[in-house]
Structure 1
Amino acid sequence: MATILVVDDELGIRDLLSEILNDEGHTVELAENAAQARSVRTQLRPDLVLLDIWMPDTDGVTLLKEWASSGMLTMPVIMMSGHATIDTAVEATRIGATAFLEKPITLQKLLKAVDIGLNKSMHKPMAPVMQKPGLQMAPADLTVEAAMTGGTLPEMVLDIGPQSHQSFNLDGPLREARDEFEKAYFEYHLAKESGSMTRVAEKTGLERTHLYRKLKQLGVDLARSKRNAL
């Protein structure tokens, strides 16, 4: 995975992005201003930078120009802002930014921009058409904040076809059948998302703490789910 530098003067944004990207397997470095960003850029040469535009010392566009003019813009830079104009976004792109994310940043747009910035040849589709029986979900535009604090997703559609290898005891009590289904449901998503709790939380519409409690209650082996995903 990659080393990603997150530059933002807001502690909450830095912490949220760091947790999400760490959960995706990346190494994350943090900077709260341009001075720290310059230091990290020089010492570690990150693979990608998430750069806020409005910062107290030097704004992100000025820092981007500085890197571009000095030959240090050797990594993709994704600009972030909640107050920037279209002209600012166009200018940043002209200077060399690979993408522009408007705050509040949606989780899907963040991960997609990072994937594209890192030049990954294969991208996970937002709403895959599954050839095998399983769970299909419509895309959700959850913000980063909503994904970490709880959010809602569109209605899930359960498609269990004739070739399904999952069976449930329909002759037993409803509670047992429901628990069996929920365990299989979460194990399916854990395997599909390579054990990423952030992605599973997004897919299932559960807040992370609630998700952890639910998995523990159902007896889902997280370590085994990650091994099965490899």
Structure 2
Amino acid sequence: MATILVVDDELGIRGLLSEILSDEGHTIELAENAAQARAFRERERPDLVLLDIWMPDVDGVSLLKEWSAGGQLTMPVIMMSGHGTIDTAVEAVKVGAMAFLEKPITLAKLLRAVEQGLAKPARPAATVTPLRPLELRDHGVYVGESMAKVGAVPVNGVAVALGPQAEQSFELDRPLREARDAFEKAYFEFHLARENGSMTRVAEKTGLERTHLYRKLKQLGVDLSRGRKTAVV
């Protein structure tokens, strides 16, 4: 199985993640701050890192930048936070994080993210090519109004949870137009579900005039009845 480094300043979070992942057969290494994580990475390379963003000494994004700049970001890193913002998640993905999990992390989301992370082949740091921020902002990677609606950020096909009952996977190794359409379709389906199929409220939330919205949904092939069946409260 894998060696997973869990970096979090909260003892309870470290203990819980260690227990869950140890039960899955993984070897777990723990660090309560960036200094300990940095020291461990100097000694060896874990197969996966679960990295908290908000820590008292050096925050997780800054540590991620250090690893990237020093050629040590050769393992998948999943960021975690209970107080994250969209901008913070975008910054982490730009640097090279493969996913973003919001606390409290459900067992299913944790195991799924870890499984997907471990399935990724290790890459030399020099070949890591994060998506440009313009692509992340303009083509629907982040859906919903806050990080409370985002379970994981999709990077190179990693799953992104669009809400408590919906999950999508995106393959980004495709023409930009196709990728954009896939993201936009998921974005509108999310809002239709959240607003129980109300076109008026979806138009308000997305900032589109109703006629334009109908035209856009038809173009993307969105099932307008889906929202009423899978409403997110």
Counterparts of 1:39-118 in structure 2, within 5 Å, are 39-118=39-118
1:37 corresponds in structure 2 to 37
What is the CA-CA distance between 1:43 and the residue it aligns to? 1.2
**Higher Cα Rg, which structure:** 1
Kindly, what percent of the aligned residue pairs are identical? Answer: 79
- Specify every segment of 5 or more residues in structure 2 that has no aligned partner in the other structure, as ranges: 122-233
What is the CA-CA distance between 1:97 and the residue it aligns to? 0.2
2:222 corresponds in structure 1 to none
Deviation sequence 1:130-174 (CA, Å, 0-9, x none): xxxxxxxxxxxxxxxxxxxxxxxxxxxxxxxxxxxxxxxxxxxxx
Q: Between Structure 1 and Structure 2, how many residues are aligned? A: 121
- Give the 3 Å change call, closer, same or farther, for CA 56–108 of structure 1 in structure 2: same
The CA RMSD measured in Å over matched residues stands at 1.2
Kindly provide the amino acid, as one letter, of the partner of residue 57 in structure 1.
Answer: D
Q: Is residue 76–residue 120 contact of structure 2 (8 Å, CA) maintained in 1?
A: no
Aligned-partner Cα distance in 1 for 2:53–2:71: 20
Q: State TM-score, norm by structure 1.
A: 0.52
Kindly provide the amino acid, as one letter, of the partner of residue 107 in structure 1.
Answer: L
Aligned-partner Cα distance in 1 for 2:119–2:81: 23
Q: State TM-score, norm by structure 2.
A: 0.51
Q: Is residue 18–residue 28 contact of structure 2 (8 Å, CA) maintained in 1?
A: yes
Aligned-partner Cα distance in 2 for 1:117–1:56: 26
Aligned-partner Cα distance in 2 for 1:15–1:9: 11
Kindly provide the amino acid, as one letter, of the partner of residue 56 in structure 2.
Answer: P
What is the CA-CA distance between 1:120 and the residue it aligns to? 6.6
SS in 1 for 2:114: helix
Counterparts of 1:161-172 in structure 2, within 5 Å, are none
What is the CA-CA distance between 1:44 and the residue it aligns to? 2.5
Aligned-partner Cα distance in 2 for 1:13–1:5: 13
1:24 corresponds in structure 2 to 24
Kindly provide the amino acid, as one letter, of the partner of residue 97 in structure 1.
Answer: A
